[in-house]
Amino acid sequence: MTNIEFEHKTAIERLVALMKMLRNKNFGCPWDLEQSIESLIPFTLEEVYEVVDAIEKKDMVELEDELGDLLFQVVFYAQIAQEEGLFNFDDVANAITNKLVRRHPHVFPEGEVTNFGTKPKISSDQVVINWELIKKEEKEEKLARKTSESAANGIESVLDDISRAMPALERSRKIQRRAANVGFDWQEILPVVSKLKEEVEELEEAISNGNSAAIESELGDVLFAAVNIARHTNVDPESALRNANSRFENRFKWIEAKLQTDGKSITEMNLQQLDQLWEEAKFNGL
């Protein structure tokens, strides 16, 4: 491919072409050639979190860069899949385009892009409800296409298609939302809070008994109950935890800096002194 041919391609076409070069068996990059769909998983997760970090820092220059890295992951997967005869980048793009048209009937009446142009008469809450209903219909269609042999492998569940690879907090929220959609949910917040208190008491009992397996189990229940509270209060648990991490980090660094200014080391302080400094950090708005 000549430079002129390369430069006349669209931005996405250049990226796809570049990915093919990197995976060229004769002249490509040894590291890229070693990768598989499975081996890319940790890198993809890392890129997602770096995108989130850039957004939270409101660093738009970094966000542009990180979104490029994330897009490269998609192209990477598509190239490997194409080599294995599974699908290619166009298939990925077409699949999400068709899905978005299908799941936005209020924007594309009768599922036709050519019908675009009528102002939607629907609230954002109703959009979410409709989205879940359409997803449910899609899932039922997929199940209907299964062979009788594969369908006989076990009882079908509304939770079956929730990915086990997603972060545990988000997966907890998805599981709870899916269960709530079929009526398995509290209608008020107070019982949810009571459940969290109950789980904390059971964790305390497990700790007092020194049973490590029970401690792990009960701690998991505490976290699951906390996610339930987040869901009922419309709080993103992942965002809440990231913010808590950030607050701790800022306060801890403030303590380190203050002690350094006073010519002291954090290792010289006892817990009571550190706790007092912690309260000072909070008083200073950290």
Q: What is the pLDDT of residue 134?
A: 87
Assess contact for 227 and 169: CB atoms under 8 A. Answer: yes
168-235 under CATH 1.10.287.1080, yes or no: yes
Nearest Cα neighbor of 122 from 135, 104, 110, 134 is 104
**Per-residue pLDDT for the chain (286 aa), expressed as one digit of tens each?**
777 888 888 999 999 999 999 999 999 999 999 999 999 988 998 899 899 889 988 999 999 999 999 999 999 999 999 999 999 999 999 999 999 999 999 899 888 998 898 888 888 888 888 888 888 888 777 766 654 444 555 667 888 878 787 788 889 999 999 999 889 999 999 999 999 999 999 999 999 999 999 999 999 999 999 999 999 999 989 889 989 999 999 999 999 999 999 999 999 899 999 999 999 999 888 8
Q: What is the pLDDT of residue 128?
A: 85
What is the domain partition of the chain in residue ranges?
A: 3-151, 168-235, 240-283
* Element spanning 117, H or E: none
What pLDDT digit, counting tens, does each position of 199-237 carry? 999 999 999 999 999 999 999 999 999 999 999 999 989
What pLDDT digit, counting tens, does each position of 103-127 carry? 999 899 888 998 898 888 888 888 8
- Which spans in 9-123 are helix H? 11-22, 30-34, 41-56, 60-83, 89-102
Q: Which fold has domain 3-151?
A: Helix Hairpins (1.10.287)
Please give the Cα distance from 143 to 150 (Å, whole number).
10
Please give the Cα distance from 143 to 67 (Å, whole number).
34
Read off the pTM. Answer: 0.61
Token pair, residue 103, equals 């799941």
Token pair, residue 151, equals 């369908």
- Do 168-235 and 3-151 fall under one CATH topology? yes
